[in-house]
Amino acid sequence: MIDGLSFLLIGAGGFFYLAGSIGLLRLPDLYSRLHALTKADNLGLGLLVTGSALQLPEPLIVFKLLLIWLAVLAASAASAHLIARHARRQEARP
């Protein structure tokens, strides 16, 4: 039962990663690509972490995985902001 739930969650996470990658390839604009990729990848990672957490023996490792997810969340949000801001400035410059 736990294995089945794990499988579903990790599969869903993989599906979100795939959606993000398709967004990266198909969307027209830098900003929309950034938006799709950041949101989809963060959610995908969260689902992956939850699915893996069900398989792990100790709660301490689950806690570490959650910390990693939070760190990735913050870092990817900041990177997306920086990339978008740089692109904005490149446009504004004549």
Binding site for other proteins (CB under 8 A): 71, 74-75, 77-78, 81-82, 85, 89, 92
With contact defined as beta carbons under 8 Å apart, do 2 and 55 qualify?
A: yes
Shortest Cβ 1–other proteins spacing (Å):
20
Torsion, Cα 39 43 45 48, to 10 degrees, reads -160
Shortest Cβ 53–other proteins spacing (Å):
18
* Residue with Cβ nearer other proteins (29 or 91): 91
Shortest Cβ 32–other proteins spacing (Å):
20
The pair phi, psi for residue 31, each rounded to 5°, is -65, -45
